[in-house]
Every structure is written in C-alpha cells, then in structure tokens.
Structure 1
Amino acid sequence: MASRTNPFTFLQQVRSEVAKVTWPTRRETLISTVMVFVMVAFAAAFLFVADQLIAFVIGYIMSAGR
C-alpha cells in the first residue's frame, strides 16, 4: 500500500511538476485549434458523402425488387 503524503508536500510536488511542463505558445494553440476544426470539417463532409452514397445504393437495391 502506498504511503500517505502530507497535503502540503503533495501541492509542492504538483507545483514543481507543473513548472517542468512545456506549455504551447498562443500561436501554436491557435494553429492546432484551426487544424482540428479543418479536420472535423473534412471528416464531416466525407461521412456525409459516404452516408448519402450508401443510402442511394441501398434505396436502389430495395426498389429493384419491385
């Protein structure tokens, strides 16, 4: 079982670990955010087209039996 840590010591350790983190710049964050939105738009467009194509094919198959 792990030993219990004093809350004050824990907070000191957390602060020292957070200080080691390399935070992205404002520009890097903006570029990453824009890229995420662009990729989401491409994925949405692709899935929309794929869904419409599959619906058309299934509709064609279902109406062919009539």
Structure 2
Amino acid sequence: MAKVSPGEFFRQVRAEGSKVVWPSRRETVTTGIMVALLTSILAVFFFGVDAMFSTIVQFLLGLLAK
C-alpha cells in the first residue's frame, strides 16, 4: 500500500467528493415521503400479523386451560 502525505490524502478526498452526484431537493423529499409511507404500511401489516398470531395463541392456550 502506497503511503501518501496528509496533504495529498485530503486533496484526493476532495477530488473524489467533487465527483459525487448529490440528489436534488425534490428527489430527497420524494424519497423521504416514500420511506415514511412504506414504513407506515409495513408497521400496519406487522401489527396485523402480530394481532392474528396473538389471537391464535390465546385461543390455543384457552383450549388447554379447559
């Protein structure tokens, strides 16, 4: 591995950073909304699955208690 001076390292970092294509404000907002929407949908889905399994387990435990 080649060793470089700290100054050269920071020049390389700056050069690589300038190559990054940053998203526009609209893309960032759209992505944020999609993340929030899909997170909400998944939360409702997993809540429903959890409630269903809870009901099944309580039913089965109720059969054992009799």
* TM-score normalised according to structure 2 size: 0.93
Cα distance, 1:3 vs structure 2: 2.5
In the alignment, which residue of structure 2 is the partner of 1:25?
24
The one-letter code matched in structure 1 to 2:35 is V
In the TM superposition, structure 1's runs of 4+ consecutive aligned residues that sit over 2 Å from their partners are none
Cα distance, 1:4 vs structure 2: 1.9
Mapped to 2, the partners of 1:38 and 1:4 lie a distance apart of 47
Mapped to 2, the partners of 1:61 and 1:34 lie a distance apart of 41
Equivalences for 1:47-62 in 2 at 5 Å? 47-62=46-61
* TM-score normalised according to structure 1 size: 0.93
The one-letter code matched in structure 2 to 1:57 is I
Cα distance, 1:5 vs structure 2: 1.3
Q: How many residues align?
A: 65
Mapped to 1, the partners of 2:42 and 2:24 lie a distance apart of 27
Mapped to 2, the partners of 1:26 and 1:10 lie a distance apart of 30
The one-letter code matched in structure 2 to 1:40 is T
Structure 1 spans left out of the alignment, 5+ residues: none
Cα distance, 1:52 vs structure 2: 0.4
Q: CA RMSD in A?
A: 0.7
